[in-house]
Structure 1
Amino acid sequence: MLLTADDAQDLPLPASRFAGEHRLAVSAAREAGALLRSHLRGEAPQQYAVRSKGSLGDVVTDLDTLAETAIVQRIRACFPHDRILAEEAGELAGEPAGAAANGRTWLVDPLDGTNNVAIGLAACVVGIALCAGDEPVVGVVHDPVTGRTWSALRGCGARGPHGPLRAASRASSPAGPLLGWTQGYGVARDDPRARSLRTGLERGSRRLLQLWAPLLTWSMLARGDIDGFVGYRAEAIDLPAGALLATEAGAEIRALDGGPFRAGVTGPDTDRSFVAGRPEEMPRLLDLVNRCHMNS
């Protein structure tokens, strides 16, 4: 039987204590995607407002809050004692007493790629993750325009629209690897480390993509569409879902110095700089990053 866009997410999962949470996250992401879809395709009669958020050029739209509310309500109804961190609301006020005492934290990015949407570019996704302690155990990335979903359950692999997801090998190009790049909003425009890394990666790669939607880039890495992904002081809200999706699809993630990398929710943003790619690509990627460092 030919699988439809989301059937693969509904197939039975291997035994896991977080299988119910995975089903909820997929369902909530789809629901939020359905709310967003008509707006992003230009089919909704009303326009959505775009407002500035902070002093660093970020924006928020009515669509962000619409999708976030829908997701949070679903999570709260099923898991009332879990902590929730949401992109727009932050750590939600009014959480029940003792929330997060069980060590579980949901992370909700209702519209990763808001800056794209604000200029009419529908390159965005919905992201949901669950961390047990500081370890991501569920990750979901949903494209509201195409209706495609990619998800991962720790220890059980990743799946895409047509079944199990693996970061397939790509033929090496003499022009260099095809890479994604992201940096956190807190990184100053004149940050010398970020500038050196980005410039060096552009010189040493075939293309360096900055999509303004890190979760979309993570899904590309998990599918094998790109060779690697480099992040500098990445945002915490979408890192666990993306990193789990990539690693469960067979990718590897290292710190910029080649050491271990932990994709949790705690710690400063200086701990969230990474190099990700297929294991066979890591020596080349780390060498490229190291050369960027030596030239900074």
Structure 2
Amino acid sequence: MRRETVDLQQARYVAIDAAESAGSLLRGRSDRHFDVWAKSEGDLVTELDLAAERLIVDRIRARYPHHQIVSEEAGTLSGDVRWNWLVDPLDGTNNIAMGLNVYTVGITLCLRGLPVVAAVHEPGSGHTWSAVRHQGAFAGRDRPLVRRERPPRSRPTLAWNQGYRVTPEDPTATALRLVLDRESTRVLRLWAPLLSWVMLARGDLDGIVGYEIGELDLHAGALIATEAGLRVTDPSGRAFDPRVGTLTEDRSLVAGTGEAVPWLLELWSAAEKLSSRVPDLWDS
């Protein structure tokens, strides 16, 4: 397999163009009838996912024919594993299936498992965000993404992300939701995790709590947020490992400003203590 050098800024443009083209396709077809199938418990796939995926894969293959691609529906498409593209062609499938215009397209390029380029496009607004590791985050094509300061308030606004495998009876998830609802102004449950990440990066949210989440809709958003100056840790407070793992839904994290993360970690600790009492709530 040929080893190649990749211009990361050029790869960012390729990711942006592919994501925006897929977004245009989704926007043009989302108000028509489209087929929907159950993929797993609580998870769906539509013909829109498949069409957007084909478009993105073709765009990446045209520019980087030797790279590996891992996509939501197609799985692993063989290539040079040193360069690996992660593709979430429709982040928010459950939303679009019920007519909610809350979804994104996410693309990540990884070098030896480390995300180095990311692009997230929101078809509904037409906005795109992107990042290159150690080179910053961008709004639009080349404008630096500057996080706006949120007005002082006693209670924050957060986003909650959970994986599809999390059941309603999961005691830790239940305890976390209870604690977050009690301590915040509002907890968004968007079912479009990448949108949560860009909202955090641009200053619309104070923090994110993710429980047993997947990776295809994680790494693009996390790279954009960290390049915008946000902090991401695991629930114990250790710096979050940004390298791509097994792509299963087993990553938990908190993310936010330097001031918000310690507070979120305290809430996580309080929720873990409460979780032992959750089974009693179900029985009562």
Do both share a fold (TM > 0.5)? yes
Letter of the 2:17 counterpart: S
Does residue 1:212 correspond to 2:194, yes or no? Answer: no
Residue 36 of structure 1 corresponds to which residue in structure 2? 26
Superposition pairs of residues 166-177 of structure 1, within 5 angstroms: 166-174=146-154, 176-177=155-156
Spell out, residue by residue over 1:232-277, the C-alpha distance to the aligned partner (whole angstroms, 9 max, x if none).
1111111110100100111100001111211332147575100000
2:240 counterpart SS class? coil
RMSD: 1.7
Gaps of 5+ in 2: 1-5, 276-284
- Shift in Å, 1:50: 1.2
The question of whether the paired residues in 2 share the 8 Å contact of 1:21 and 1:138 is answered with: yes
| Partners of 1:121 and 1:278 in 2: CA distance | 29
Write out the 4+ residue segments of structure 1 that deviate beyond 3 Å after TM superposition.
267-271
Letter of the 1:85 counterpart: V
- Shift in Å, 1:173: 2.0
Does residue 1:23 correspond to 2:2, yes or no? Answer: no
Percentage identity across paired residues of the two chains: 48
Query: 1:119 and 1:247, CA in 2 relative to 1: closer, same or farther beyond 3 A?
Result: same
- Shift in Å, 1:100: 2.9
- Shift in Å, 1:169: 2.9
| Higher mean displacement: 226-235 or 264-273 | 264-273
**Between Structure 1 and Structure 2, how many residues are aligned?**
269
| Partners of 2:194 and 2:253 in 1: CA distance | 14
| Partners of 1:53 and 1:71 in 2: CA distance | 21
Residue 47 of structure 1 corresponds to which residue in structure 2? 33
The question of whether the paired residues in 2 share the 8 Å contact of 1:29 and 1:71 is answered with: yes
| TM-score, length of structure 1 as denominator length | 0.86
Residue 9 of structure 1 corresponds to which residue in structure 2? none
Residue 139 of structure 2 corresponds to which residue in structure 1? 160
| Partners of 2:151 and 2:113 in 1: CA distance | 35
Residue 249 of structure 1 corresponds to which residue in structure 2? 228
Letter of the 1:213 counterpart: A
Would you tell me which structure has more strand in proportion to its own residues? 2
| Partners of 1:285 and 1:214 in 2: CA distance | 18
Spell out, residue by residue over 1:104-131, the C-alpha distance to the aligned partner (whole angstroms, 9 max, x if none).
1101111100100011001001100011
The question of whether the paired residues in 1 share the 8 Å contact of 2:214 and 2:250 is answered with: no
User: Residue 294 of structure 1: which of 268, 273, 276 is its match?
Assistant: 273
Letter of the 2:13 counterpart: R
| Partners of 1:104 and 1:193 in 2: CA distance | 36
Residue 71 of structure 2 corresponds to which residue in structure 1? 86
Spell out, residue by residue over 1:133-168, the C-alpha distance to the aligned partner (whole angstroms, 9 max, x if none).
121101111011221101111111111138211333
Gaps of 5+ in 1: 1-15
Residue 10 of structure 1 corresponds to which residue in structure 2? none
- Shift in Å, 1:172: 3.4
Query: 1:87 and 1:270, CA in 2 relative to 1: closer, same or farther beyond 3 A?
Result: closer
| Partners of 2:73 and 2:157 in 1: CA distance | 32
1:233 counterpart SS class? strand
Greater relative contact order, per chain length (Cα 8 Å cut-off, separation 6+): 1
Letter of the 2:197 counterpart: W
User: Residue 66 of structure 1: which of 19, 41, 51 is its match?
Assistant: 51
Does residue 1:282 correspond to 2:266, yes or no? Answer: no
| Partners of 1:256 and 1:268 in 2: CA distance | 19
| Partners of 2:246 and 2:54 in 1: CA distance | 27
| TM-score, length of structure 2 as denominator length | 0.90
The question of whether the paired residues in 1 share the 8 Å contact of 2:70 and 2:76 is answered with: yes
